[in-house]
Chains A and B, each alone.
Chain A
């Protein structure tokens, strides 16, 4: 089966510019996650969707970050405007819920560099 697809793989932008990341989860996975991974750190959850509903966005910096998952399939994460501190790898993951054991399948990530 196809894995989680993300695009673009790399993005370099200047600060204050907008940027968007796209994710297509594994077919049939109704739960989708966006993580941010800083260098040398573990992934940190930004937002979790169950179908099209954002059920946990407590870690999403809502002043500049937004996300959507229309139709409960693919998702877009946007940053506007980007700041230097947003440089990181943005990972999308999906899982099949409610079947245990809830392992998450990660996409290749988008490496964002803000200059």
Chain B
């Protein structure tokens, strides 16, 4: 079945350093979504990418969708302690109604 893989599983950085997490799908995706889950919290929708090669920015966060629509990345510039959490990518199957989540990248930050 379709799988969505994320790397790395964990990332620890010093505050102010950059951070990147990568997401790869075994199949072409119609779109890809990113969620953030704070420690002890629930996933919160960040963004959706739809077009091949699409790049979107949210302040210090840059999201990219690959040309083949099988991979994506999230890059955070100059991390802050508020960025701590687990970042999940999720790809839809079955007509965009069923999301398959990656296992997430857990970001911890040393202030």
5 shortest interchain CB distances as A-B pairs: A42-B101, A103-B45, A106-B42, A101-B48, A106-B43
| B-binding segment of A16-24, A43-51, A69-77 | A43-51
Interface of A is mostly: loop
Nearest chain A residue, comparing its CB with the CB of B9: A40
A109 contacts across to B, CB distance below 8 A: 42
Q: Give a binary string over A45-61; 1 marks a CB under 8 Å from any B CB, 0 the rest.
A: 10010000001100000
Q: Check A41–B103 contact: CB distance below 8 A.
A: yes
B44, CB-defined interface residue at 8 Å: yes
Number of interface residues of A (CB under 8 A): 23
State the CA gap A42–B42 with chains docked (Å): 11
A78 CB to closest chain B CB (Å) equals 21
Q: Check B97–A42 contact: CB distance below 8 A.
A: no
B71, CB-defined interface residue at 8 Å: no
B25 CB to closest chain A CB (Å) equals 13
